[in-house]
Structure 1
Amino acid sequence: MPAFPRTLVRPLRGKLSGYAVAIGLAIIATILRQAADNLLPPGFPFLTFFPAVIVTAFVAGRGPGALCGVLSLLSSWYFFIPPANTFVLSAPVATALLFFAAVVIVDVLLIDGLQQRQEQLVESQRQLSAMADQQTLLFQELQHRVANNLASVSSMLRIQRRQIERTPEIALTVLESADQRIELMGRVHRQLYNPAAREIPLPEQIENVVAQAQDVAGAEDVKVIISAVDAPLAVDRMMTLMLLITEVLNNSIKHAFPEGSSGEVRLTLEPASHGRLRLTIADNGRGLSPGHADVPRHRGLGTAITKGFATQLGGTITVDGSNGVRTIVEFPEG
């Protein structure tokens, strides 16, 4: 259905201008009826007043239309209903006036109802157009996000393929690790891209993602203590941050606390200098001491992935393995 501009629905919006038009049209209708008096047979006192009321109601609304109707009734009664120039009321005069009043009321209410309906249709069409534009934008945004996530999966698989090429005997372990990462990435994706999630504060988002990571890894014995500020982040950047958190946490669960041993991980997200945020994830596990020569080899893939996520955030990453493992990532806010 084509949309009509609001200015064509009811051109006059101001009350003062609307009532001024009502008075002006009532006067014009009186002048025209007086000019045509000699051209008309007796019995047409309202001839020019009906159009005046209709035009007033159309251009100015219900109130001015009613005022024009009242003025037209008084003018036609006084000037054009015998005896002229008087307000004498008789049964025939009362009948004529009631007829005029009834027609005016119907005209004004009908025009007002049609205008309100037209305005509702225009507003509905505006809302539908806005919703269509929003849906198109969301679809394009979703395509962009899915492409970014698939690119992350592709990069991760390339790294793991190279790892398998170097050490074929760990192929099954690497594939299991890839399956776990992809499953966790899917869970995070569903959580963050749920429209209802836009209203959830960032600390709660982090808590939910950490719970997902613990569930996928089966790490009920690892306690994660979270302290995070509610910083504003775009959804794309929040997705990258959550994937980085799950990757670091997954590394701690798998390597800092081997064979299901208990432990503790502290996760802190706090403001840093110059509009930046600092993410710190520290575990009290066995660390990266020289006595554990196999730990760096196991952590190589996870380290590469976390560095990639830190780069996507535009940040820097440092890892300290002298007392447990402490991973610090600083990145711009926003």
Structure 2
Amino acid sequence: MSEPPGAVTLAEAPPADPPPPRKLTAQRVQPLRRPGRWIATVVVLVLAAQFVHALVTNPFYQWDRFGYWFLRPTILDGLLITLEVTAWSAVLGLLGGILLALARLSRSPVLRAASWTYVWALRSIPLIVVLLFLYNFSALYQTLSVGVPFGPAFLTFDESRLATDMAIAVIGLSLNEAAYAAEVVRGGILSVDQGQHEAASALGLPKGYQFRRIVFPQALRSITPNYVNQLIGLIKSTSLVFYVSLLDLFGTAQSMGSTYPGDIVPLLLVVTVWYLILTSLVSVVQFYVERYFARGATRSLPPTPLQKLRTGLRDLRERARREAAV
């Protein structure tokens, strides 16, 4: 096809001039507006301020009497009993929970059935019922004996002398704690990857060594946070030992409240603050224990509260510096 005279082909067309470069200007990125978050924050701060104001200004709380009772020797004696009962019950409960978990995971049907029955029964019966039953145990069995089953006894003990108030409290709490700790430990052991068991068996390691050095250390990452929750519940459950005549922290406050009826509220505040302190200390220990067992499982260890504070202050300084530069 012939082209009309004077036509210019694409190959012969002069190149077009490039567009002039656009002048780049710095633009600040505006964050996404979130009014709901700000409204919720203001509401929470207002409610918190009202709560603190009412707590401080209400004369019904009698903060002067709170300061009087907080460090009284009788309160501190009850606190020591609470700590002693908690420590013994936590250790014995955890040991019993480990044995029950191993029995539940064993191949023996008798051990599995016995462990399941124990856990089922102790988790079904209220703790106060267990404590009261143990407190009246001497009415059912006045003597305890050691000897041949269904045969002669070699040693006989007077149950009323052995069952002191402290012993009843520790035994009752330990029995109850073991039932819950058994499920915590069993869940932690089952959380370990099956390949770890197979690798340990392929190396020919004994079963006991596998559990102590391979399975249980990995299971602790799952056991620790769950058992610490149980431990916090145990600290609060010690308040029930007052019903078996053991004057712990709560029992001491109750006794002083009956003697000084006008100080019931300050005494309850003293108990509340001490329980808050104990559970907070346990939570701090939990954080560092979890951080210790997180080694090798995460790329970086979680920051400590002090590290978080330093990071927050550094970010705040950098943000203020950018604001001033703009």
- TM category, shorter: under 0.3
Q: TM-score, normalised by structure 1?
A: 0.24
Looking at both structures, which has the greater relative contact order when contacts are Cα pairs under 8 Å and sequence separation is at least 6? 2
Select the structure of larger CA radius of gyration. Answer: 1
TM-score (norm 2): 0.25
